[in-house]
Structure 1
Amino acid sequence: MRIFIFFSLLICHTLAAPAIFETAEQIVRSALSLTQSYEEAPYEATLIGDEVYERVYPSKKWVCTKLTVNEESEQQQVTDGTMFWKLFNYIQGANNKDKKIPMTVPVTTHVTKTSGTELEMCFYINADEQADAAAPNNPDVYIKEEPTRTIYTRTIGGYMNTASWKTEAQELAAKLQELGVNFEGNSYWKVGYDAPFKFWNRRNEIWYLKK
């Protein structure tokens, strides 16, 4: 009975927050094994110092949505959840092909400071769908072909919140300045790879675009 309650609560928690999963069955399977894996956006990486990497991502299609908020806050989970579900519904069949599309990693959120804060969340479109990606039904969701881009990043673990994302963005920016590399400092990406029920070896990244 306790095991049933645990998994019921786990599923309810996962459905209430941004997560990386496809079905309730997979949630339970992932919670048991913690080995669920998804196709990752391809890149080539070069270590440039102190666990900081330069990565080159080739031009690929991503499915995206965006929102503008006054400022980032601890209520960001609600905003992220709104964007996440729009994209998740797309891969669940809310597209012109009525087709389910595999979940991928990472989930990226581009943070740009303007008069407010513009947030653009994207899912990488898997390799099999790249040539003929289905069009979203939701007008708030769109297919975006990112050009080849070079980013700087490092990987950190644990669970992230608004404060920890900002701290990592500041610390990575300082590290890049120490390394003497040129990067776009007026925006960055928050990048996640894991579902909330993965408790160990979590992977989070801040990305800065190389100038």
Structure 2
Amino acid sequence: MRIFIFFSLLICHTLAAPAIFETAEQIVRSALSLTQSYEEAPYEATLIGDEVYERVYPSKKWVCTKLTVNEESEQQQGTMFWKLFNYIQGANNKDKKIPMTVPVTTHVTKTSGTELEMCFYINADEQADAAAPNNPDVYIKEEPTRTIYTRTIGGYMNTASWKTEAQELAAKLQELGVNFEGNSYWKVGYDAPFKFWNRRNEIWYLKK
């Protein structure tokens, strides 16, 4: 229950997002959940300048779902999150609960609309034999080894602040003279809404 509260709110990216908490008891449990730690997707990082890092993520399996929308909103994040959360809570061919991990990533690709792909990293113990999702909208994806550029920013994020950070990081990467795929990026979150200090948010751009 604590994991459910922790990460359902994380995906809202903002305190102003539609409330998942409905009772005082849920709020208390969420605050207590801050003592938990979660397995993070592995990577190697190199500082390239001005708090910007190049990271290499090895090939790993992620569980994902997609939406194509006209405009981004926090509500869409919640819709995708529920599908993935149900998978790790046992909506899979093994009827197995799978540990939550970080980060939660949302790949934003601009086409005729906006394609959103949200993914949870599958923990190390499940990588070799990941359970198949029951929901046809959810799928296991083996990401190839990828190199990304990113920096960490704090605070609470919403749709507008994610877009601002994407623009500012893109400008910074251009200043640094690195080549990256500019037509898409990832919004990446790590923290519960009741973590008030040292929050970790990232935009990822793929290295060309």
Q: Which residue of 2 aligns with 1:24?
A: 24
Q: Which residue of 2 aligns with 1:48?
A: 48
Aligned-residue offset at 1:24: 11
Q: Is the 8 A contact 1:38 1:104 kept in 2?
A: yes
Q: Mean alpha-carbon deviation: is it higher for 174-183 or for 196-205?
A: 196-205
Q: Which ranges in structure 1 are unaligned for 5 or more consecutive residues? A: none
Change (3 A) 1:136 1:201: same
Aligned-residue offset at 1:71: 1.9
Aligned-residue offset at 1:196: 1.9
Q: Mean alpha-carbon deviation: is it higher for 65-74 or for 136-145?
A: 65-74
Aligned-residue offset at 1:74: 6.2
- Counterpart of 1:124 (choices 103, 115, 121) is 121
Q: Is the 8 A contact 1:7 1:28 kept in 2?
A: no
The normalised TM-score by structure 1 is 0.85
Q: Is the 8 A contact 2:190 2:200 kept in 1?
A: yes
Q: Deviations over 1:131-189 (max 9, x none)?
A: 00000000000000000000000000110011100000000000000000000000000
Q: Is the 8 A contact 1:67 1:118 kept in 2?
A: yes
Q: Which ranges in structure 2 are unaligned for 5 or more consecutive residues? A: none
SS of corresponding position for 1:75: helix
Change (3 A) 1:13 1:111: closer
Distance in 2 of aligned mates of 1:182 and 1:156: 22
SS of corresponding position for 2:171: helix
The normalised TM-score by structure 2 is 0.86
Distance in 2 of aligned mates of 1:122 and 1:6: 16
Identity of aligned residues (%): 100
Q: Which residue of 2 aligns with 1:13?
A: 13
Q: Deviations over 1:183-208 (max 9, x none)?
A: 00000000000122222211100000
Q: Is the 8 A contact 1:18 1:85 kept in 2?
A: no
SS of corresponding position for 1:178: helix
SS of corresponding position for 1:201: coil
Change (3 A) 1:75 1:86: closer
Aligned-residue offset at 1:36: 2.1
Distance in 2 of aligned mates of 1:12 and 1:21: 12
Change (3 A) 1:159 1:6: closer
Q: Is the 8 A contact 1:45 1:53 kept in 2?
A: yes
Q: Is the 8 A contact 2:13 2:189 kept in 1?
A: no
Aligned-residue offset at 1:26: 9.6
Distance in 2 of aligned mates of 1:50 and 1:110: 24
Paired positions, count: 208
Distance in 1 of aligned mates of 2:8 and 2:74: 26
Change (3 A) 1:181 1:20: farther
Distance in 2 of aligned mates of 1:129 and 1:3: 18
- Counterpart of 1:170 (choices 164, 167, 172) is 167
Change (3 A) 1:150 1:19: farther
Q: Mean alpha-carbon deviation: is it higher for 68-77 or for 113-122?
A: 68-77
Q: Is the 8 A contact 1:108 1:122 kept in 2?
A: yes
Q: Mean alpha-carbon deviation: is it higher for 30-39 or for 130-139?
A: 30-39
